[in-house]
C-alpha cells in the first residue's frame, strides 16, 4: 500500500467506490476524488463514480466542476433521475443539457477537419483527452473523456510548459521538442510550437513509445490546419 492507498492494484468498480466512500468518511477528500477519477477512466459507461465525484464537488462548493462531471454522466445516461436531480440542485436547466448532448457536437470551436484529428486521437487506447491552447494559454480546442475543466487545465499546463521553455536557455537545452509529465493521477504530454501547445492527457500506464508517432502526426496536422507556426 502506498501513501495514496490501494489504488494501483484494484480494478473493481465496487471496491473503488467503497474505498472512495471510506476516504470521504475519513476526511481524505482529495484521495477520494483521485480514486473516483480512476474509476471513471476504467469504467467509462458506469455513472456511479460520476455522481459520487459530483457530490464531492458540490460539498466543496465547486458547482462548476460538479456540473461538468454531471454533464459527462448525462451523455452516458440521459434519463438518469439522480443526475437530473443533482443538476436541478445546481440550478442547471437539464433539458437544455440533454438537448445539447443529443443534438450538438462538443463545442470545440474547431473546424471539422481538426475535430476529426482530435477525435481520432481519442480512439487510441490510453489517450483520455487533447487540449490545444495558444502561446498565452487560451483554449483553441479540446476533446476530453475526463471530467476536467478544459480552460483552466489548458492554461495551467501551458504555464508550466512555458516555465520550462523559458528556463531552457539557463539549462542549455536548446529548442524543446516535447515535455512529458508523469503525475500520480495520469500522464501529460505536451508538444509545443512557437504559437501552439498541443496537450495530451493519458492514462498512467500508457506506453509512450507506442503513441509517439500518432501524437507527432496529429500535432503537425493541427499546425497545418490552423496555419500557425
Partner 1 sequence: MKKMMEGIGSINGVLSCYLVDRDGEIVEDAGNDKLDKTLASAVIAAITKELSTQMGIENNFSIIVMAQKKNLFIVTQKNFILAVFTDPTIDTGKIRFELRECVKAISEEL
Interface pick for partner 1 out of 103, 205, 209, 213 (rule CB under 8 A): 209
Question: In angstroms, rounded to a whole number, what is the distance separating the alpha carbons of residues 175 and 60?
Answer: 42
User: Grid cell 498541443 — which residue?
Assistant: 198
- Tell me which H or E stretch contains 10: none
Task: Count the site residues for partner 1 by CB under 8 A.
Answer: 24
Interface pick for partner 1 out of 18, 26, 159, 195 (rule CB under 8 A): 159
114 exposed, middle or buried (CB, 10 Å; 0-12, 13-18, 19+)?
A: buried
Return the closest-CA partner of residue 147 out of 80, 35, 53, 43. 53
Interface pick for partner 1 out of 179, 203, 225, 228 (rule CB under 8 A): 179
Interface pick for partner 1 out of 175, 205, 213, 229 (rule CB under 8 A): 175
Work out whether 229 is an interface residue with partner 1 (CB under 8 A). no
Question: In angstroms, rounded to a whole number, what is the distance separating the alpha carbons of residues 68 and 37?
Answer: 13
Question: In angstroms, rounded to a whole number, what is the distance separating the alpha carbons of residues 15 and 28?
Answer: 16
Work out whether 182 is an interface residue with partner 1 (CB under 8 A). yes
Work out whether 213 is an interface residue with partner 1 (CB under 8 A). no
Q: How far is the CB of 69 from partner 1 (least distance, A)?
A: 18
Interface pick for partner 1 out of 6, 136, 138, 160 (rule CB under 8 A): 160
Question: What dihedral angle (degrees, nearest 10) is formed by the CA atoms of 69, 121, 14, 55?
Answer: -10
Interface pick for partner 1 out of 9, 25, 103, 183 (rule CB under 8 A): 183
| Interface stretch with partner 1, choices 16-24, 95-103, 132-140, 155-163 (CB under 8 A) | 155-163
Burial 24-57 (b: 16+ CB within 10 A, else e): beeebeebbbbbbbbbbbebeebbbbbbbbbbbb
What HEC string does 109-144 produce?
Answer: CCCHHHHHHHHHHHCCCCEEEEEEEECCCCEEEEEE
Q: Which is nearer to partner 1, 107 or 183 (CB)?
A: 183
Work out whether 173 is an interface residue with partner 1 (CB under 8 A). yes
Gyration radius from the chain CA atoms = 18
| Interface stretch with partner 1, choices 94-102, 118-126, 142-150, 156-164 (CB under 8 A) | 156-164
Q: How far is the CB of 50 from partner 1 (least distance, A)?
A: 21
Work out whether 217 is an interface residue with partner 1 (CB under 8 A). no
Q: What residues line the site for partner 1 (CB under 8 A)?
A: 156, 159-160, 163-164, 167-168, 170-184, 208-209
Amino acid at each position: 500500500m502506498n501513501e495514496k492507498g490501494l489504488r494501483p492494484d484494484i480494478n473493481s468498480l465496487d471496491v473503488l467506490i467503497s474505498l472512495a466512500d471510506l476516504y470521504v468518511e475519513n476526511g481524505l477528500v482529495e484521495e477520494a476524488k483521485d480514486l473516483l477519477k480512476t474509476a471513471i477512466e476504467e469504467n467509462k459507461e458506469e455513472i456511479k463514480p460520476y455522481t459520487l465525484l459530483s457530490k464531492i464537488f458540490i460539498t466543496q462548493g465547486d458547482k462548476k466542476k460538479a456540473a461538468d462531471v454531471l454533464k459527462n454522466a448525462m451523455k452516458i445516461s440521459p434519463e438518469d433521475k439522480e443526475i437530473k436531480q443533482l443538476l436541478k440542485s445546481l440550478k442547471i436547466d437539464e433539458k437544455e443539457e440533454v438537448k445539447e448532448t443529443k443534438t450538438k457536437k462538443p463545442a470545440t470551436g474547431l473546424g471539422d477537419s481538426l475535430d476529426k484529428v482530435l477525435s481520432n486521437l481519442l480512439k487510441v487506447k490510453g489517450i483520455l483527452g487533447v487540449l490545444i491552447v495558444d502561446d498565452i494559454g487560451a483554449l483553441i480546442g479540446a476533446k476530453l473523456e475526463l471530467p476536467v475543466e478544459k480552460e483552466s487545465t489548458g492554461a495551467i499546463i501551458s504555464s508550466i510548459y512555458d516555465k520550462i521553455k523559458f528556463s531552457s536557455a539557463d539549462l542549455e537545452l536548446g529548442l524543446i521538442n516535447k515535455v512529458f509529465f508523469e503525475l500520480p493521477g495520469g500522464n501529460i504530454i505536451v508538444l509545443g510550437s512557437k504559437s501552439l501547445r498541443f496537450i495530451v492527457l493519458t492514462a498512467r500506464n500508457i506506453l509512450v513509445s507506442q503513441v509517439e508517432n500518432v501524437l507527432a502526426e496529429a500535432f503537425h496536422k493541427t499546425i497545418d490546419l490552423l496555419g500557425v507556426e
